[in-house]
Amino acid sequence: MATLTEKLIPLLKREVNSESRQRARQHLLDWLACAAAALTYPAGQIMARFAAQSGAGVALLLGAEPRDPLMAAFANGALGNVLEMDDVHRGSILHPGPIVIPAALAAVQANAGTLDDLLVAIVRGYEATIRIGCALGPSHYRYFHSTSSAGAFGAAAAVGSVLGLNDHALADALGNAGTRTGGLWQLRHEEVMSKSLHNAQAARSGYEAAALAALGFSGPHAILEGPQGMFAAMAAQADASQIDCAHPDWLIHTCSFKPWPACRHAHPAIDATLALREQLQTRRKMDPLGDPGPIVAVNVHTYADALKFCDRVHPASEAQAKFSLQHAVAMALLHGAPSLAHYRPEQITSPYVGALRERIKVAELAQFSDAYPAHFGAAVEIQLRNGMRLRHAVPDALGDPENPMDERALKLKALALLAHAGMPERARHELIFACREGQDLDLILTALKSLKAPQ
């Protein structure tokens, strides 16, 4: 009888259609912009310095000279999630791009591949990541960083696509990707950079697993369902049917893009707040500068995991503020559409902002928990001093397939992040064109050479 990884392989080797290649272009640009901007943050700068200690190579290292492909996959793999603006898949509660894309990019360069090879590898890597992430389920997510756990499989699948692994070798690669995968959520309780390390290790270990499989290094094909496999050890509520269940198209199309620099669990509340802010301004209850004086109280209702990860009235750092529903809603009320500047120390420590956060109460609402994780929803209610109450509910956050960001919004996001990274204006537009319409990988790599990590 075929193991689960063996059942997955035919799904990964399907023909990748032009629509899915085009979708992969969007995710490639989104990851590159997020990763480039991360070079301005301490975690990104430390990774750049760490990678610089290794020898020169052929694979792009963002902001630095090319390095060995394994090091490039590792260091670039740490960057995509630093700003909390990376793509997300709701059903599996993970972020495929920050792991799959850097591994695939390094492999394509190491093997003289093409842009098309990269796009196909991305689609296949997302498929493996999402299917295995869905199979691991919520009990795994309670303790383990699913992006890292399932992402290592996705990196192996993407690199295996580039290397042209046969079915048996690809099963070996997936097996070895799973033998040492995962990352513990303890990092959420301390002010550390480990989340980026989880992703870096997953990108590298997936790459290693595929490269070793190409040389004949075997791995456990029943790594998921075996008696001492991942399901038994790490996922008490695993759903094996998710591995080979039928879907009408590649699962990359079910991913979401993130418009705001915050944990995705905060986004539906942000969207609802922005809608209310517009109502307030229309009713002239708030002046053009966003003074929240008339607001007596704010109530946020959302799903349980949003509270578990983001109920934080007093964030003490930028990282904590990005995991604070209270701060996210306060910033949206005060300033409108959130930006990176809204998570800087001066905003976090402002007594005025702190007082507004105190007025924001969060609670679970069954309708949102019941719909989760297929839908990330929230409702926000504002009580005004005159007794009026305004409420707005969002069943799906902006950027979800049901509420998508259009091409213009995705371009504006990329331009803003690339500008934040210090990329020259001409190079920004060249990179966006190369990702969206170009046919040559070198066009992308050339534009990225203008990036320099701050020392």
Residue ranges of domains in the chain, CATH in brackets: 4-254 (1.10.4100.10), 264-394 (3.30.1330.120)
pLDDT score, position 285:
47
Residue 109 CA to residue 118 CA, distance in Å, equals 9
Mean pLDDT of the chain: 94
Q: What is the pLDDT of residue 205?
A: 98
Give percent of the chain with pLDDT exceeding 70: 97
* Side chain identity, residue 142: R
Could you give the residue ranges of the DSSP H alpha helices within 111-229? Answer: 115-141, 146-163, 167-179, 194-214
The predicted pLDDT at position 280 comes to: 83
Which residues does residue 61 pair with via DSSP β-bridges, in sequence order?
64
Distance in angstroms (rounded) separating the CA atoms of residues 159 and 108: 8
Q: How far is 120 from 107, CA to CA, in rounded Å?
A: 12
| Region of residue 86 (left: phi > 0; alpha: psi -120 to 50; beta: else) | beta
Distance of CA 418 to the CA centre of its chain: 17
DSSP readout, 104-129? HHHHHHHTT--HHHHHHHHHHHHHHH
Q: Strand locations in 365-455, DSSP E?
A: 378-384, 389-394
Within 8 A by CB and 6+ apart from 39, the residues are 45, 48, 62, 63, 79, 421, 451, 453, 454
In this prediction the pTM is: 0.94
The residue whose two tokens read 């934080």 is 312
Q: For the residues 20-30, what does the mean pLDDT come to?
A: 98
* Maximum separation of any 2 CA atoms in the chain, in Å: 73
pLDDT bin (cut points 50, 70, 90) of residue 293 is low
Structure tokens at 1: 């009888």
- Mean pLDDT for 12-41 is 97
CA 154, CA 202: separation in Å to the nearest integer?
9
Q: How confident is the model at residue 39 (pLDDT cuts 50, 70, 90)?
A: very high
| Residue pointed to by tokens 């890292």 | 148
